[in-house]
Amino acid sequence: MERTTCCVVGGGPAGMVLGLLLARTGVEVTVLEKHGDFLRDFRGDTVHPSTLRLLDDLGLADRFAALPQRHVHSIQLPIGRGGELFTVGEIGSLPGKYNYVAMVPQWDLLDLLADEANREPTFQLRTNTEVTSFLMERGRVTGVRYRDRTSGSTGELRATLTVACDGRGSLARDLPELGLQEFACPMDVWWFRLPRAEGDPQGLVGNVGERFLTAMIDRGDYWQCAALIPKGADATCRAEGLDRFLAAFTEATPWIRRGPDREPGPRSWDEVKLLNVRMDRLRRWHRPGLLCIGDAAHAMSPVFGIGINLAVEDAVAAARYLAGPLREGTVGLADVRAVQRRRWPTTVATQGLQRIAHARVIGPLLQGRSPVAGGEPLRLAQVLTKAPWLKRAPAYFLAYGAGRERPPAESLRSSG
Ligand SMILES: Cc1cc2nc3c(=O)[nH]c(=O)nc-3n(C[C@H](O)[C@H](O)[C@H](O)COP(=O)(O)OP(=O)(O)OC[C@H]3O[C@@H](n4cnc5c(N)ncnc54)[C@H](O)[C@@H]3O)c2cc1C
């Protein structure tokens, strides 16, 4: 029978950070990841100051800085009259060296974490290994059943604690006692690439078009473009034709006409991927033998691009609360409860702000209405820019959430 102390289901940002931190504290940890590597479709690029500071604390600042990246110093929403962008998070105004959002492909970050974790003797990453169900004994989760996707063989891995980091489609969500609470979202997202050209702006660029909003992420030689469309409108919008959409996109982003030698964008709808936007959270993130963190516990809206960082911060809190009890073999319900209690305020507050942005800004804009016309979001944004300390409050929240999470002392390393 296979056994480990902590079985982590899923090697995304939450699972890899948890695996690395626990392994550095001497806990035996096995991460099961269903894919063969981290090189997948676009999954978001935003690494916020909380994660940058964590990487520094872990001695990984130099290796992270060597990855190709762009820096963004403010976060904007289209809440001005007519949808002009308004700065809601002036992260550049925060003190300290990490006062920006680094735009880094997620697979580069995950490769770095995996490489570092693999140096620890108590760490194991098993790729191509899909967890198919939980092992249960007398109401307690005691590990997982898995299938090796290369050989087709199946097996069981027993663990003192199983942590579900398997994203918004988590197996744990089938457990009715955890209670999934869903929130309506007014939008879905189309993702596609557009080549960059000489003279283009840099970083993160947003705009408002006819029944869509855009966010364009600078990835060196191309733009990773997001177009927010009304929820459920994918089929209708596609039926109107790709040329019509691209013409409207260019209309909303006139500077892309400036590159005469720019290669064309998507040539068929196959190159435009749909993200079904969901926002939800589990009422309870645990049961005996099991804890859920990251998207498994709470799927976030793409507003503020904060999903990766909340997942990472959940993992940091989990490692801090659980490393000692796991090592000593005393981990119990009180420990996993403490993780949820710690992370709940940031999760609820962030989703609350996202719901306000959905209802007051994104929903109206996608329906072709002016979101503000002198309304509350604009007034609030104007108040927030009046005093420097007020300006810093939303920036601090976007950068660090409701409170900074500190990794376990044994996981810290100096850089270089
Ligand atoms: C298109 C897109 C764009 C996004 N853009 C951004 C952005 O710009 N900024 C941002 O902060 N967030 C963004 N997000 C959200 C962000 O990717 C997630 O919030 C974040 O990745 C959550 O991390 P996680 O580790 O909890 O889950 P995930 O990243 O979803 O990782 C889950 C992992 O578990 C694995 N897995 C799933 N099921 C199993 C199983 N049964 N057995 C074994 N392994 C399993 C998966 O393969 C995956 O590797 C985006 C998401 C998408 C889909």
The pLDDT tens digits of the residues spanning 121-163 come to 999 999 999 999 999 999 999 999 999 999 999 999 999 999 9
Confidence of residue 314 (pLDDT cuts 50, 70, 90): very high
Give 295 Cα–ligand 1 centroid separation in angstroms.
Answer: 7
**CATH number for the domain that contains residue 39:** 3.50.50.60
Quick one: 129 and 49 in the same domain?
yes
- Pairwise CA distance, residues 235 & 253, whole Å: 23
Give 392 Cα–ligand 1 centroid separation in angstroms.
Answer: 29
Q: Is 195 helix (H, G, I), strand (E, B) or coil?
A: strand
In DSSP terms, 87 is beta-bridged to 76
- Pairwise CA distance, residues 98 & 72, whole Å: 11
- Whether 135 is in a domain gets the answer yes
Mean pLDDT of the chain: 89
- Distant-in-sequence contacts of 27-31, Cβ < 8 A, 24+ apart: 27/122, 27/323, 27/326, 27/327, 28/4, 28/122, 29/4, 29/5, 29/122, 29/123, 29/124, 30/4, 30/6, 30/124, 30/125, 30/126, 30/157, 30/159, 31/117, 31/123, 31/124, 31/125, 31/126
pLDDT > 70? residue 380: no
Ligand 1 lined by 131 (C-beta under 6 Å): yes
Share of the chain above pLDDT 90, in %: 63
Site to substitute for ligand 1 among 308, 309, 354, most atoms within 8 A of C-beta = 308
pLDDT > 50? residue 373: no
- Whether 374 is in a domain gets the answer no
- Whether 73 is in a domain gets the answer no
Alpha helices in 93-241 (DSSP H): 106-117, 234-239
Last residue of a domain, one of 275, 310, 338: 275
pLDDT > 80? residue 179: yes
What per-residue string of b and e applies to 227-253 under the rule 16 or more CB within 10 Å gives b?
bbbbbeebeebeeeebeebbebbeebb
> Could you give the angle at the alpha carbon of 332 between the alpha carbons of 283 and 120, nearest 5°?
100
Give 13 Cα–ligand 1 centroid separation in angstroms.
Answer: 7
Give 101 Cα–ligand 1 centroid separation in angstroms.
Answer: 18
In 10 A of CB 21, how many CB atoms?
28
Q: Bigger pLDDT: 4 or 257?
A: 4
Q: At a CB cut-off of 8 Å and minimum separation 6, what does 231 contact?
A: 184, 185, 186, 187, 188, 277
Quick one: 159 and 303 in the same domain?
yes
Residue range 249-261: mean pLDDT, rounded: 75
CB distance 92 to 73 below 8 Å: yes
- Whether 369 is in a domain gets the answer no
Quick one: 198 and 269 in the same domain?
yes
Quick one: 235 and 267 in the same domain?
yes
Last residue of a domain, one of 275, 304, 333: 275
**Residue 239's closest CA among 229, 254, 226?**
229
Residue range 62-77: mean pLDDT, rounded: 85
pLDDT score for 198 = 81
Q: Is 192 helix (H, G, I), strand (E, B) or coil?
A: strand
Site to substitute for ligand 1 among 43, 175, 295, most atoms within 8 A of C-beta = 43
pLDDT score for 86 = 63
- Pairwise CA distance, residues 265 & 389, whole Å: 42
94 residue type, one letter: L
- Whether 159 is in a domain gets the answer yes
Q: Which residue do the tokens 């001005």 mark?
A: 80
pLDDT score for 211 = 72
Q: Which residue do the tokens 């260019």 mark?
A: 250
pLDDT score for 197 = 85
> Could you give the angle at the alpha carbon of 19 between the alpha carbons of 298 and 171, nearest 5°?
40
Kindly report which listed range (125-129, 130-134, 215-219, 296-300) carries the lowest average pLDDT score.
215-219
pLDDT score for 262 = 73
Which ligand 1 atom is the nearest neighbour of the CA of 273? 1
Quick one: 267 and 311 in the same domain?
no
CB distance 405 to 313 below 8 Å: yes
Kindly report which listed range (72-76, 141-145, 376-380) carries the lowest average pLDDT score.
376-380
Give 309 Cα–ligand 1 centroid separation in angstroms.
Answer: 11
Ligand 1 lined by 278 (C-beta under 6 Å): no
> Number of structural domains, the chain?
2
Pairing of strands 298-299, 279-282: antiparallel
pLDDT score for 408 = 98
Give 294 Cα–ligand 1 centroid separation in angstroms.
Answer: 8
pLDDT score for 84 = 58
Quick one: 155 and 214 in the same domain?
no
Quick one: 205 and 336 in the same domain?
no
Quick one: 157 and 59 in the same domain?
yes
Quick one: 227 and 341 in the same domain?
no
Quick one: 60 and 193 in the same domain?
no
Quick one: 147 and 7 in the same domain?
yes
What would the pLDDT profile of 315-365 be if each residue is shown by its tens digit? Answer: 999 999 999 999 999 999 999 999 999 999 999 999 999 998 899 888 888
CB burial class (10 A; 0-12, 13-18, 19+) of residue 15? buried
Residue range of the domain that includes 283: 2-68+100-182+278-356+402-411
Quick one: 116 and 38 in the same domain?
yes
Confidence of residue 13 (pLDDT cuts 50, 70, 90): very high
pLDDT > 50? residue 374: no
pLDDT > 60? residue 41: yes
